[in-house]
Structure 1
């Protein structure tokens, strides 16, 4: 085995290879977490090489937001691989005969080929390119640590390749987890399946496993008790510059209150229909909402289905009820959007295993929040104690009508003390603070591992949240 000397042995800064597919300028929610992670390693004096895919690939997927690049540390090196989702190609001149004539069969065969290479549909075929990329980067600039952010999970194959070949320590940021169905709950695959074998192999040898909330951490500690002390909760948090620095606008019911949703529109048409029906009923029953507007902003769909699907059709059909879709919002424009709203609508999929990064941002605005998600949802744990939150009621339309009405009254009746209390409730969840702690302790583990030194720093589990008992790392 060819084991190269660590960068610390060569008296140069330690080097991180960061597999971060979704790094800016990709218009993905994970981009914020990835950007802050890379920046924090740079703050510690590390060289950082980010591995992602080309900007053109994101143009055919979720789109681009070039303003995300403004806060990327200029010392970070970004390697863009020539990878793209073949199924999102819209140029029919590039279609094979099978795809043109039998698209369903073509897609089925594509998925089979992908999962044969690595047990992950859509991305499995990227394995060899990712593996070769990390080997090439390490040869040019020996790495002290590889951090793999998933999805895609095929990143794990590249982490394993570098570990197997050069014994470079690696850590995994699962965020939502692989073997757990975070949306529906329960197990995503069995331990003896091909994916299960891969997951166990990776976790057996990783330095650390990051996830975004306590229920997911509990899943992994129970499934793999021998690595329980390496499972850490590193919450998403919010960026301070994403919330308005000024006081909320003066509400004017006569002109019309404005409720807003900002985030990826990835929920079902049924969930959106319940929201729109409840909104219509609330406007009819609540005088304060008679002229109210509901503005939906964010990305809807990917590829050819972007803004051309059942969700956008429902929104257009509700225009008479003051509902509108304003499209995606660039990162730099987010504070201005919040500043133009009186209350927020938090629509989330899944249950107790799901934490949306937006919940922290919503909280930090100081605006009233209407929740449209399961009662047993991690967002409920985050929002517990929030004085301007109407509570979670699942998809109970009558309760949701009442939530909209109560939020309207909160807009007019909330005191500055209550709004300050809400913002204070969000203070511990700034992304910079959370990621700084997590990165610092991972960096310490990595350097100790490279030198076979004892000690693991302060356990992340000792740093507790004052809101819900989560780990603020």
Structure 2
């Protein structure tokens, strides 16, 4: 339902937001759901929203299977989406599509590309910046923006936000979907003090009006590293979209068929698949798991070269009911949940990892089995969910016990427990998580005018 929001400002003009989001529909990258929800929420709240994102070709051609056309249809029609051209030097592997310079003097072209990275920011998405800045300045000249928000990765968007904010004298905000200078999956520092990347990060954070993180663990890490910006750091957790998942009615598993477990999401080599499948094999020896199936829904990796290896790994466990069901469009997600009795939350990483899928899992009101390190940030979200099953360790025995316990809960599920599970999930709708942020940004714009 659309909210009636009064315009702000002395002239009654709606606040104007420029949102820099490289991964935006039709991209199927995991971070795209936060970007889509943010743009839609601000538009719903009465902002004039413009998104600058990557060219459509980047997702459909350079990232094989990287598009989800059904997701693009869910972008609010009030959101203006701009896709300026991009230099795809790093991504192009077809010699026939090389530029004349690259064909004639490939070594010189490569040196020039690397030199540009070393002078600015060593990130392969740097080719997006010239087109982004050109389009942004043209749009701003026509109708001034009041706020710039950038989401990363890639983090060239943060550098662009810094430049635009300083050039236009408007506040800018950066939203860390992922960590920049450290790896949130391994907790290892990727770019230490003195590196060009770390210098850029400090520069961006020094001038940002607000710095947003998806969980408090990541916020604390950055607050310790950049104490001068700690008072501007805040958390905007991920969430789930009722328009996709709905509010599923209570429906117990059919008593005359084996239980159906399901994993939804992109399968990558970083998932603890070895522990998952070993734990599944052990669990299948319990009578309550007799003939149970584990359905895997989603793309296999983000690049073609990893897909076949992952497919072969899944096929090795077909004898114990592991079934690869392929990818699905966002519009089909409700049906996938409806056909699943127990959800498997398998993610890589450590205490700085939340994942967006956990929120949808809870919204289903069904049992959730955790297959991850027990100290990841997502565990904080699951605390209080009455149908959460997780061991104290990430090993096959603990995972097997969780599978069996979840199977029993699925068979014993009742309407009251289902309702209690969904009530917990209601705290994490996108509207609930984004509304306080939008209110702060509206106050920020009003104050800066």
The answer on whether the counterparts of 1:253 and 1:288 sit within 8 Å (CA) in structure 2 is: no
Change (3 A) 1:416 1:224: same
Structure 1: segments with no counterpart, 5+ residues: 1-6, 452-473
Determine the structure 1 residue equivalent to 2:149. Answer: 147
Aligned equivalent of 2:423: 424
SS in 2 for 1:209: strand
Query: 1 CA distance for matches of 2:122 and 2:11?
Result: 38
Partner of 2:305: 305
Task: Find the residue that maps to 1:130 and give its secondary structure.
Answer: helix
Matched, 1:291 2:291: yes
1:8 and 1:281, CA in 2 relative to 1: closer, same or farther beyond 3 A? Answer: same
Shift of 1:13: 2.4
Q: Distance in 1 between matches of 2:115 and 2:304?
A: 23
Match of 1:72 in 2: 75
CA distance in 2, matches of 1:365, 1:443: 33
- Are the structure 2 counterparts of residues 108 and 84 from structure 1 closer, same or farther at C-alpha, using a change threshold of 3 Å? closer
Give the deviation of 1:413 after TM superposition.
1.6
Which runs of structure 2 are paired with 1:361-376 in the superposition (5 Å)? 361-376=360-375
Q: Distance in 1 between matches of 2:312 and 2:110?
A: 28
The CA deviation string for residues 63-109 of structure 1, in whole angstroms up to 9 with x for no partner, is 22222233322121110122265454464533699999xx9x99997
Quick check: 2:88–2:127 contact (8 Å CA) kept in 1?
A: no
Q: TM-score, normalised by structure 2?
A: 0.89
Conserved? CA contact 1:114–1:123, under 8 Å: no
List per-residue Cα deviations over 1:402-448 (Å, max 9, x = no partner): 11111111111233222211111111100122112211211211231
> What is the CA–CA distance in structure 2 between the aligned matches of 1:410 and 1:183, rounded to whole Å?
31
Provide, for residues 36-78 of structure 1, a one-character-per-residue CA deviation record: whole Å limited to 9, x for no partner. 2112222332211110012221113252222223332212111
CA distance in 2, matches of 1:422, 1:106: 60
Instruction: Classify 1:114/1:372 alpha carbon distance in 2 versus 1 (closer, same or farther; 3 Å).
Output: farther
Match of 1:216 in 2: 218
Q: Structure 2 vs 1, CA of residues 304 and 290 (structure 1 numbering), >3 Å: closer, same or farther?
A: same
> 2:183 aligns to what SS in structure 1?
coil
Q: Please tell me whether the aligned partners of residues 248 and 342 of structure 1 are also in contact (alpha carbons under 8 angstroms).
A: no
Q: Give the Cα–Cα distance (whole angstroms) in 2 for the partners of residues 368 and 86 of structure 1.
A: 46
Q: Is the 8 A contact 2:146 2:171 kept in 1?
A: yes
Between the two proteins, the alignment pairs up a number of residues equal to: 438
Q: Which residue of structure 2 lines up, in the alignment, with residue 281 of structure 1?
A: 282
Q: Give the structure 2 partner of residue 357 of structure 1.
A: 356
Q: Residue 359 of structure 1 aligns to a residue in which SS?
A: helix
Aligned to 1:226: 228
Is the 8 Å Cα contact of residues 252 and 410 (structure 2) preserved in structure 1? no
Cα deviation code 1:136-162 (max 9, x no counterpart)? 221222111111111110012221222
Structure 1, 372-381 or 384-393: larger mean CA deviation: 384-393
Deviation at 1:381, TM superposition (A): 1.3
1:442 aligns with 2:444: no
Aligned to 2:137: 135
Q: Which whole-Å deviations, capped at 9, do the CAs of 1:106-128 have from their partners, x for residues lacking one?
A: 99979845632533432133333
Q: Is the 8 Å Cα contact of residues 391 and 398 (structure 2) preserved in structure 1?
A: no
